[in-house]
Amino acid sequence: MQKEEYLGQAERSAVRRCPTLKFCAGNNANGTSATNSSDIYNIVLLVVDIVLLLVKFWLAIVESIVGLFQTKVQENVSGKFVLITGAGHGMGKQMALQYAALGATVICWDVNEQTNNQTVKDIKQKGGKAFGYVCNVTKREELIELAQKVRKEHGFIHVVVNNAGIMPCHTLLEHTENEIRLMYDINVISHFWMIQSFLPDMIERNEGSIVALSSCAGLFGLINLVPYCGTKFAVRGYMAALAEELRQKNPQNNVKLTTIYPYMIDTGLCKNPRYRFPSLFQLISPDVAAASIIQAQREGLEEAAIPRSYLALEKIGRLVPRKAMRLVNDFVDTGVDTDKH
């Protein structure tokens, strides 16, 4: 009897909360129906997104393949300001001369005042425009102060080329602490200070180019260049990450980033090159390398090797088992011998 009375009270309480049990049941049914409809809607949206992804994916691949057979339009740099670090020697000097020949005004930075002034003098003798500044890129405050001065004196810098670098060639255990720290300060860390100094203006105007010199040592690990390879792989990594930051921040981003992977260039940095097949792997002259870099920048390429085929070879090599690639490397026998005697 007590049990039946308790059940009766529970039923009356339920009725008070919901005037009709049938209405409450209807609410539950409608809620379930709404949930099911929402799930179906989300699934349809996901399917549509996947279809759009596949269409865009294959269109991008087709576009890239077609682009291989098309002549790319090169940006006109005439009348624009181009800043090059390490402009007193080698590829930096050759880039300065060639940019000036294209009508650009070249801002030459180098730690060596004498060689830097000579580059400026050579440009002016050929009718070009150039300005020279002494800068130790490892000194952050000095670099930032000079960057502010350059922007104040010349305005917007359209192209920044992070070219300065050093390349000690000996085994890791023979490297000193100072060598390794200096190599990273010049080859990598200074790039961050340059980018922080000049990129904000580029973002504000949504134009400009940053070129970073990596190396084929940023594509392949090489003996006697362990810390150097580390710096050049770092350049490759930070440029790829920065490109994503800019793209995510502004889908219509028009600031170009170009990473360059030169093979051994005949600038004096590579003191003891070694190659089994000299006709295939001979040193590249600085003027040829400079022309290739400038072309890549003007075409807006994200990556470019010198020679161009090396980037494709690296991507193919990643698909081949490591043991098999080592057999190929041993057969080719190309690299750099130690500069320690």
Phi, psi of 185 (to 5 degrees): -60, -40
Residue that has been written with the tokens 């000690």 in this structure: 168
On whether the CB atoms of residues 174 and 234 are closer than 8 A, the answer is no
Which 8-state DSSP code applies to residue 77?
-
Rounded-to-integer distance, Cα 295 and Cα 287, Å: 12
Beta carbons of 93 and 82 less than 8 angstroms apart: no
**d(C-alpha 46, C-alpha 40), whole Å:** 10
**Paired strand residues for 130:** 106
- Catalytic residue at 228? yes
Asked if 162 contacts 185 with a C-beta cutoff of 8 angstroms, the reply is no
Q: Which stretch of DSSP H or E encloses residue 259?
A: strand 256-262
Q: Counting every residue, how long is the chain?
A: 341
| Catalytic, out of 228, 238, 261, 263 | 228
> b/e per residue, 86-101, with b = 16+ CB within 10 A?
bbbbbbbbbbbbbbbe
Active site residues: 228
